[in-house]
Amino acid sequence: MPLNPEAVGAESEATTANWTSTDTLLYAVSLGAGTGELQYTTENTNGVTQQVLPTYPVVIPGGTGAMRNIGSFNPAMLVHGSQSVTLHQPLPVAGTASVVGKVAAMYDKGKAAVVVLESTATGEDGSPLYTTSSSLFIRGEGGWGGDRGPSGAQNVPPVREADHTVTYTTSPDQALLYRLNGDRNPLHSDPSFAAMGGFDRPILHGLCTYGFTGRALLHALCGGESANFRHIEGRFASPVIPGETLTIRAWSTGDGEAVFTTSVGDRIVIDQGLLRHA
């Protein structure tokens, strides 16, 4: 059975997600945070209150049940196209959420399809915590005559020097640490599996690059305070190899808004980036 465009609007049953202080500390350390960011990497430092890196929702499980409604496809043809996180309030360092997934859109790109999945989480008191959105690009699954969806680049930086530039060098072992957040795809750890995908060695998780980017923007534009970080979105343009250096450039474009890119040398790895902040 091919993809099912009638799945748009389908929702999953609510699932319960739990995370601990240790989980959020591990996430921060897996993104290179260290002794200079004790509010994200320790829970017992005198005079410091633990916080959660704002991109943490991308590793909180739940809401994936809606995926079963979209039909069948070859998983090898799927790549993660883009990701957004909207925070409705700062995340607790440990907590429980009810997560509901939804097939938000499905676009026919001719030789490929794009499926947009959303997950909405509410806290134990019923208040909204966060919303995430992921676009999945699936080669070979278009052609049913549906809406092509948005086209053209979004969030394009202005033609001038960036207002903020942050550089982080990833570790050659970065993917081995990041995978402990839950994504055990062997593409990021097994050299033989990576070779089958056409890579000389395992690649870094796209969401790890995304997390490094969010961490850079947090310090450059939000004063290092998670409460000031409201929304991030970006498109995955190219894979990263563990050990490569990431350069995050941001351009302020309005009150509480900036566009950004992440690159390795001259190669853009995340583009069409948008940050909203306090």
Predicted pLDDT of residue 205: 97
Domain formed by 5-139, architecture: Roll (3.10)
Quick one: fold of 164-277? Thiol Ester Dehydrase; Chain A (3.10.129)
User: How do strand 15-19 and strand 164-169 relate by DSSP bridges?
Assistant: unpaired
Please give the backbone phi and psi of residue 223, each rounded to the nearest 5 degrees, phi first: 65, 20
| Residue 188 designated active-site | yes
In terms of Cα–Cα distance, which of 214, 209, 260, 213 is closest to 239?
209
Residue 94 Cα to chain centre, angstroms: 20
Annotated active-site residue in 23, 188, 231, 277? 188
Q: Apex CA 251: angle with CA 132 and CA 37, to 5°?
A: 65
Q: Alpha helices of the chain — where are they, by DSSP H?
A: 21-30, 38-41, 174-178, 191-196, 206-221
| Residue 277 designated active-site | no
Residue 143 and residue 208: Cα distance in Å, rounded? 33
The pTM score is: 0.96
Q: Token pair of 120, please?
A: 């909405």
Q: Same CATH topology for 5-139 and 164-277?
A: yes
**Looking at residue 60, what DSSP letter applies?**
S
Residue 103 and residue 83: Cα distance in Å, rounded? 14
Tell me which residue has tokens 């930086």: 157
Each of the 278 residues of the chain gets a pLDDT tens digit; together they read 489 999 999 999 999 999 999 999 999 999 999 999 999 999 999 999 999 999 999 999 988 889 999 999 988 888 999 999 999 999 999 999 999 999 999 999 999 999 999 999 999 999 999 999 999 999 999 999 999 999 888 999 999 999 999 999 999 999 999 999 999 999 999 999 999 889 999 999 999 999 999 999 999 999 999 999 999 999 999 999 999 999 999 999 999 999 999 999 999 999 999 999 99
Residue 133 and residue 170: Cα distance in Å, rounded? 25
Q: Token pair of 143, please?
A: 């052609």
**Looking at residue 204, what DSSP letter applies?**
P
Cβ 26 vs Cβ 48: under 8 Å: no
In the chain, domain spans: 5-139, 164-277
| Phi/psi-derived region of residue 110, left when phi > 0, alpha when psi is between -120 and 50, beta in every other case | left
Predicted pLDDT of residue 64: 87
Annotated active-site residue in 88, 163, 183, 219? 183
